[in-house]
């Protein structure tokens, strides 16, 4: 039994705690998902979380995420979801640990990434769909028939549950970003959010070197290769008039390659040579594993498979048991973690679903859209992407607000940009960047993201 004075003191304490909670808020983030520290990680002040969100209770399908709070004032910063492409490649392994996460693996452990995107945002990396990275389905038959519709639906369910876990971020500005085949993932997810009127504060999407329209994107490859001196005049003409790349892609995808298109493909490959990286024609041939996300867009059924560097620090690091323990990750039905899934059978006919029209619908609904291109990529070249965005602006009556011009970062030309409709739609190139722009041009990519999140035009004067 407590005395009256003790009772008064207890009530006063309760009132003080409640008042404090109202004033400063309570961090209700799941402690079980909090990362104490990653093995061989440099000391940092920001918080990290990782774990699973179940998106199908019946099939026991769960998606793995890695969340990194912003370095400074995370409560006021936007939440940015990042999705890598493939289809079937890891946003954690490629996006977080190779491109723009807070750390990069080396032989001696993790080092700080000076151009990490969590300098300007709270970064959420999602391994999607199930079967990619640490994400899994207990029902393995799921892997046999995955498509864009399933991926978008599961990603929406993931976000609904994730924001329930991290309610403090529910009202923050929310952006969806990604690259390569995320030219499907990102707009399709944004569209379903708009259609279902989900309670996310979706402000915009940004997609890099995205697959938007099968014929336009793939057929721009011939002009890009020719203009960069990788193929001859005569081969360019053959590659354009006899059998173009979209036709070659389609034939190999359907397992019915004609003799004519096979000959054209061999001729192009011979002239380019085995020692050029198609994802960055200026880069030497020793490739990090995140390049694999684009391989599916160019893999054909003849010739040798492109080899990546034998020593891949990201794969080595994420396969360490102590790292998996720190990340609260597990391997389900697979012996090793890999950058791109070896068990997922994605419906490759989905590559031919155009998503450029979805961008128009998003713009019409008030969602800002940024499309950017690393200008050294021959897989999804800027030529096709730029023409698609320009055509989209014309179709939707979006006048040019800022004409095509150079933009600057760190006192150098960082690329070229054009703005339509007062900033609701914009296109930018990143000078000297590959298919995975943040990997090859991290400073310029961070500058591009910062301007986009702030709703500001890229600096067009030195």
Please name which of 290, 279, 277, 278 lies closest in space to residue 125, comparing C-alpha atoms: 290
Mean pLDDT over residues 196-207, rounded? Answer: 95
117/96 Cα distance (integer angstroms): 9
Which of the two residues, 275 and 373, has the higher pLDDT score? 373
Six token digits for residue 40: 């061989």
Q: Which residue has the higher pLDDT, 22 or 238?
A: 238
Tell me the average pLDDT of the chain.
Answer: 90
Look at residue 334 in the predicted model and tell me its pLDDT. 95
| DSSP class per residue in 198-231 | -S--EEEEEEES----HHHHHHHHHHHHHHTTSS
| DSSP assignment string, 249-317 | HHHHHTT---HHHHHHHHHHHHHH-TTS-TT-TTS-S---GGGHHHHHHH--SSSPPPPPPS--HHHHH
H helix or E strand, kind and range, residue 97: none
Angle made by CA atoms 386, 387, 389, in degrees to the nearest 5: 65
At residue 274 the predicted structure's pLDDT band, cuts being 50, 70 and 90, is confident
The CA distance from 401 to 367, in Å, is 17
In terms of Cβ atoms closer than 10 Å to its own Cβ (0-12, 13-18, 19+), residue 207 is buried
Cα pseudo-dihedral 115, 117, 119, 123, rounded to 10: -150
Helix (H) or strand (E) holding 53: strand 48-56
User: At 220, is the pLDDT very low, low, confident or very high (cuts 50, 70, 90)?
Assistant: very high
The answer to whether residue 159 scores a pLDDT higher than 50 is: yes
For 421, list phi and psi in degrees, rounded to 5: 60, 40
Give the range among 229-243, 291-305, 431-445 with minimum mean pLDDT: 291-305
Position with higher pLDDT, 107 vs 190: 190
For the segment 72-86, the average pLDDT, to the nearest whole number, is 97
Measured between alpha carbons, how far is 329 from 297 in angstroms, rounded to an integer? 29
- What residues does 257 pair with on adjacent strands? none
d(CA 244, CA 137): 38
Q: How confident is the model at residue 193 (pLDDT cuts 50, 70, 90)?
A: very high
Helix (H) or strand (E) holding 58: none
3-state secondary structure of 447: helix
Contact between 339 and 90 (Cβ < 8 Å): yes
Say whether pLDDT at 462 is over 90: no
Per-residue pLDDT tens for 283-333?
776 655 455 566 566 665 444 343 344 347 899 999 999 999 999 999 999
pLDDT of 247 higher than 90: yes
pLDDT of residue 28: 62
**pTM reported for the whole predicted model:** 0.90
Q: Which residues are catalytic?
A: 180, 377, 435
Domains of the chain: 32-213+349-400+433-448 (3.40.50.1820), 216-298 (no CATH)
The fraction of the chain above a pLDDT of 70, given in percent, is: 88
Would you say residue 21 has pLDDT above 90?
Answer: no
- The stretch 226-238 carries a mean pLDDT of 96
Q: How confident is the model at residue 24 (pLDDT cuts 50, 70, 90)?
A: very low
């Amino acid at each position: 039994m407590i005395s009256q004075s003790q009772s008064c003191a207890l009530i006063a304490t309760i009132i003080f705690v409640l008042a404090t909670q109202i004033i400063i808020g309570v961090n209700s983030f799941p402690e079980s998902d909090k990362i104490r520290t990653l093995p061989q990680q440099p000391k940092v002040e920001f918080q990290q979380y990782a774990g699973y969100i179940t998106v199908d209770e019946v099939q026991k399908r769960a998606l793995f995420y890695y969340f990194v709070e912003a370095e400074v004032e995370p409560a006021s910063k936007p939440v940015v979801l990042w999705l890598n492409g493939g289809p079937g490649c890891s946003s954690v392994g490629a996006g977080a640990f190779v491109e723009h996460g807070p750390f990069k693996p080396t032989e001696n452990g993790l080092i700080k990434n000076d151009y990490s995107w969590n300098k300007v945002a709270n970064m959420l990396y999602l391994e999607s769909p199930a079967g990619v990275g640490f994400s899994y389905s207990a029902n393995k038959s799921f892997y046999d028939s995955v498509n864009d519709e399933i991926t978008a639906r599961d990603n929406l369910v993931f976000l609904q549950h994730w924001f329930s876990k991290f309610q403090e971020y529910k009202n923050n500005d929310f952006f969806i970003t990604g690259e390569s085949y995320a030219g499907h993932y990102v707009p399709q997810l944004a569209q379903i959010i708009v259609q279902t009127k989900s309670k996310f504060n979706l402000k915009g999407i940004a997609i890099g070197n995205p697959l938007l329209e099968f014929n336009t994107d793939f057929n721009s490859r011939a002009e890009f290769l020719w203009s960069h001196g990788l193929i001859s005049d005569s081969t360019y003409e053959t590659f354009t008039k006899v059998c173009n790349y979209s036709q070659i892609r389609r034939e190999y995808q359907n397992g019915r390659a004609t003799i004519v298109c096979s000959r054209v493909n061999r001729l192009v490959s011979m002239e380019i040579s085995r020692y050029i990286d198609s994802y960055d024609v200026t880069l030497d041939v020793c490739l990090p594993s995140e390049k694999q996300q684009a391989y599916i867009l160019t893999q054909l059924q003849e010739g040798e498979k492109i080899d990546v560097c034998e020593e891949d620090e990201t794969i080595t690091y994420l396969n360490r048991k102590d790292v998996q323990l720190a990340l609260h990750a597990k391997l389900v039905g697979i012996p090793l973690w890999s950058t791109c899934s070896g068990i997922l059978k994605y419906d490759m006919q989905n590559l031919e679903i155009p998503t450029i029209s979805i961008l128009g619908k998003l713009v019409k609904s008030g969602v800002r859209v940024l499309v950017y291109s690393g200008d050294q990529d021959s897989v999804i070249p800027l030529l096709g992407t730029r023409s698609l965005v320009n055509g989209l602006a014309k179709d939707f009556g979006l006048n040019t607000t800022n004409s095509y011009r150079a933009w600057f970062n760190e006192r150098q030309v960082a690329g070229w940009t054009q703005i339509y409709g007062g900033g609701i739609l914009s296109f930018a190139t990143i000078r000297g960047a590959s298919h995975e722009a943040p990997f090859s041009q991290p400073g310029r990519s961070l500058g591009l993201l910062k301007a986009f999140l702030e709703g500001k035009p890229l600096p067009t004067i030195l």
